[in-house]
């Protein structure tokens, strides 16, 4: 199966995509499969189709953390960032990280690439049920995240100088760290166990709303796995690293689960900045 490197880039670095058409176990759901060094989930796209809204629900993962190992994971929905020429991505989500002391760190954020991510003042606990949406009208971006368990929420409307509405994504991600020279590295993926996206839908510019499997657009199922080049910094060869695999879509085509698994990376990654302090470079996202 061909692989795809979804290389993080705050400077809109382009990557080359190769994908093979396969059939998923959902009615009328025809999707490409690809492998990424930092994304797992589904993206929908089609030439000539513009997306104006994306919606989903998920339960905040409860990471398994070990002292001495900093790891990171993020769950989000967003519009844009998929095409080869994209230089924008509008998104909102949550993050579950593991500190060096083994503590679980749970947070929420939004980001309008190429701008920096912004932390949301919404306390999100593991196992909380969440609902999120991104809506784009012209250059006006509406962002919403609700904690349905604790009956709290966040909403914000912002003006974005540049937007991309050529795709919609439901993603579990290994965030990336970027440096002043413009280089970026994928951070070690936290053991998030599993995360399930539910009631996932997108709306196109003509007002049509449908699930991931809707025949009005194409979908790509993306598996997060190591490639030995841009994947996992601060990990020696042979150390266990995380992968994330999305399931097939449910019969309604609007739900899927992403599952974590450890593998052994035998190749030293290209980048190594162990002398620099590690920080979460929050969701520095690729263009496709």
Q: pLDDT per residue over 179-231, tens digit each?
A: 666 666 788 899 999 999 999 999 999 999 999 999 999 999 999 986 544 44
Query: For the chain, first and last CA: distance in Å?
Result: 18
Asked whether the predicted pLDDT for residue 84 surpasses 90, the reply is no
Largest Cα–Cα separation, the chain: 51
Specify the pLDDT at position 14. Answer: 24
State which residues form the domain around 35.
Answer: 20-264
Q: What is the CATH number of the domain that holds 143?
A: 2.60.120.700
Asked whether the predicted pLDDT for residue 68 surpasses 90, the reply is no
Domain membership flag for residue 287: no
Q: pTM higher than 0.75, yes or no?
A: yes
Q: Which helix (H) or strand (E) holds 141?
A: strand 140-147
Token look-up 């629900």 returns 57
**pLDDT mean over 250-279:** 69
The segment with the largest mean pLDDT, out of 18-22, 77-81, 267-271, is 77-81
CA pair distance 200, 208, nearest whole angstrom: 14
Domain membership flag for residue 273: no
Name the nearest CA neighbour of 107 among 91, 89, 126, 90.
126
Domain membership flag for residue 13: no
Domain membership flag for residue 4: no
More confident residue, 69 or 99: 99
Digit-coded pLDDT (tens) for 102-159:
999 999 999 998 888 899 999 999 999 999 999 999 999 999 999 999 999 999 999 9
**pLDDT mean over 262-282:** 48
Asked whether the predicted pLDDT for residue 36 surpasses 80, the reply is yes
**pLDDT mean over 47-57:** 97
List C-alpha distances in Å: 93 to 11, 41, 59: 21, 14, 11
Specify the pLDDT at position 109. Answer: 95
Domain membership flag for residue 38: yes
Domain membership flag for residue 193: yes
Specify the pLDDT at position 265. Answer: 62
Domain membership flag for residue 10: no
Specify the pLDDT at position 82. Answer: 82
The number of domains in the chain is 1
More confident residue, 49 or 277: 49
Domain membership flag for residue 128: yes
Residue 34 binned pLDDT confidence (cut-offs 50, 70, 90) = confident
3-state secondary structure of 4: coil
- Is there a contact between 139 and 158 (Cβ–Cβ < 8 Å)? no
């Amino acid at each position: 199966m061909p692989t795809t490197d979804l290389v993080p880039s705050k400077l809109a670095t382009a990557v080359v995509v190769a994908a093979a058409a396969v059939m998923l176990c959902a009615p009328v759901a025809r999707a490409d499969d690809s492998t990424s060094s930092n994304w797992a989930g589904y993206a929908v796209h089609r030439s000539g189709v513009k997306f104006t809204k994306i919606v989903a629900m998920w339960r905040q993962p409860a990471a398994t953390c070990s002292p001495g190992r900093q790891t990171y994971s993020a769950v989000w929905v967003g519009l844009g960032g998929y095409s080869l020429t994209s230089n924008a991505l509008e998104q909102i989500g949550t993050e579950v990280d593991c500190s060096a002391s083994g503590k679980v760190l749970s947070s929420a954020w939004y980001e309008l690439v190429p701008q920096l991510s912004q932390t949301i003042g919404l306390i999100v606990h593991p196992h909380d049920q969440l609902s999120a949406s991104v809506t784009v009208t012209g250059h006006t971006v509406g962002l919403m995240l609700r904690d349905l368990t604790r009956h709290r929420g966040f909403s914000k409307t912002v003006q974005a100088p540049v937007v991309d509405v050529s795709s919609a994504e439901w993603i579990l991600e290994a965030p990336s760290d970027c440096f002043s020279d413009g280089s970026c590295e994928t951070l070690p993926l936290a053991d998030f166990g599993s995360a399930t996206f539910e009631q996932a839908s997108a709306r196109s510019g003509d007002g049509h709303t449908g699930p991931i499997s809707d025949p009005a657009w194409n979908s790509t199922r993306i598996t997060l796995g190591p490639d030995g080049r841009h994947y996992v910094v601060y990990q020696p060869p042979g150390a266990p690293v995380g992968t994330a695999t999305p399931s097939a879509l449910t019969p309604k085509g609007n739900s899927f689960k992403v599952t974590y698994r450890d593998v052994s990376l035998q190749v030293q990654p290209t980048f190594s900045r162990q002398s620099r302090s590690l920080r979460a470079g929050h969701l520095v996202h690729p263009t496709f």
